[in-house]
Amino acid sequence: MGKTPGTIKKTSIAVTINGESHELEVKPWQTLLDMLREVLHLTGTKEGCGDGNCGACTVILDGREVNSCLVLAPEVDGSEILTIEGLSVQGVLDPIQRAFVDHGAIQCGFCSPGLILTTRAFLAENPHPTEPEIRVAIAGNLCRCTGYDKIVRAIMSLARP
């Protein structure tokens, strides 16, 4: 049995999100996803499935991409987080965002923030991947609209020097 509502205190955390420091009161069971969306209203991070099977809620936590629905808010105390809102500076698209837009890799757009962040973390690790490597790298991000074709092409355009 879990606890009944109201018996558990909130806990306070310090976290840097998109370069800004925040001191936040969070509930122990709150996910990072809910913290971003419900507390900070950073709604660019999407909830697709809530159990780590779709990748829509991907954010970059201390340099590595994670499903924010599988991370608890108190776990990120002291961490640095990059969400989709932190990627473009003053309205100028980041090169990955630019490539997704220009290649027609965005249709409904619900998977796009997660895919763009996975791409960022992946290319930081492997700047010149092959097509099969790209396909494996984004396998954790489901997309129902594009058939992945233009997404893979967008990433390939970034992978070529």
Partner 1 sequence: MSNSTKYIGKSVPRVEAADKATGRALYGADIHLPGMLYAQVVRSPHPHARIKSLDTGPALAIEGVKAAVTARDLPALTDIGRALGNEGAMGLEWFRRLVLAHDKVLFEGQAVAVVAATTPEIADAAAGAVAVEYETLPVIGDVLEAMRDDAPLLHEDLYTATLGEKPTRPSNIAAHQEVARGDVEKAFAEADFVLETTYKIQRVSHGYLETQAAVARAEPDGRVTVWTSTQGIFNAQRQICAALSLTQSLLTVVPMEVGGGFGGKTYAAVECLCIMLSRKAGRPVKLVVDKSDALRAAGAGAGAYATVKASATKEGRLTACSLQLVYDIGALPNSHAPGGMRSLGPYKADNLKIEARNVVTNKLAALMYRAPGSTQGNFAVESHMDAMALGLGIDPLTFRMINAVEEGDDDLLGTTFGPIGLKEVLNRVARHPTWTKPLRGRNRGRGLALGYYTGLVNTNSSVLLHVHRDGSVTVVTGHVDLTGTRTALRQIVAEELQVPLENVTVQSKDTSSAPYSDHTVGSRTLYTFSLAVHSACGEVLAQMKERAAGRLGVDPGTVRYSEGMFRAGRGKSKSISWQEITRLSVRQLGGPITAMGSATSNHPPCFAAHITDVEVDPETGKTRILRYTSFQDVGRALNPGLIEGQVQGAVVQGMGWALGEELMYDQGHLQNPNLFDYRMRTASDVPFIDNVLIEVPAPQNPYGFRSVAELPIVPVPAALANALFRATGARFNNLPMTPEKIFWALREGSPSSRRRL
Partner 2 sequence: MPQFDYAAPQTLKEAVDLLEQARGRALPLAGGTDLIPQIRKAAKQPALLVDIKRIPQMSRLEFVPGKGLHLGAAVTCGSIMRHPQVRDMYPALGQACSQIGSRQVRNRASVGGNVCNGAPSGDSLPPLLVFEATAGITGVSGTRQTTLEELVVGPGRTTLGPSELLVEIVVPLPAAHSTSEYCRLSLREEMDIALVGVAVLLAVEPDTGRCLEARIALGAVAPTPIRVRDAETVLQGRKITERLLDRAADLAAGAATPITDIRASAEYRREMVKVLTRRGLKACLSRLTRQGGGRR
Q: Are 44 and 55 in contact (CB under 8 A)?
A: no
Which range of residues in 59-67, 82-90, 93-101, 103-111 is near partner 2 by CB under 8 A? Answer: 59-67
* Residue of the chain from 81, 143, 158, 159 that contacts partner 1 (CB under 8 A): 143
Report which of 70, 69, 59, 57 is spatially closest to residue 18, judged by C-alpha positions.
59
Q: Which residue has the tokens 């020097």?
A: 161
Report the b/e string of 134-150 with b at 16+ CB within 10 A: beebbebbbbeebebeb
How many other C-beta atoms are found inside a 10 Å radius of the C-beta of residue 54? 22
Work out whether 127 is an interface residue with partner 1 (CB under 8 A).
no
Given partner 1, partner 2, none, residue 119, with its beta carbon under 5 to 8 Å by kind, binds none
Smallest distance, Å, CB 10 to partner 1?
12
- Give the 3-state secondary structure of residue 54: coil
Q: Quickly tell me which residue has 């969400």 as its tokens.
A: 83
Q: Given candidates 33, 56, 66, 159, which one binds partner 1 under the rule CB under 8 A?
A: 56
Among 24, 116, 123, 159, contact with partner 1 (rule: CB under 8 A): 116
Q: Would you say 75 or 85 has its CB closer to partner 2?
A: 75
- The contact set with partner 2 (CB under 8 A) reads 1-5, 7-8, 11, 27-31, 34, 50-53, 55, 58, 61, 64-67, 69-72, 74-75, 77, 118, 121-122, 136-137, 139-141
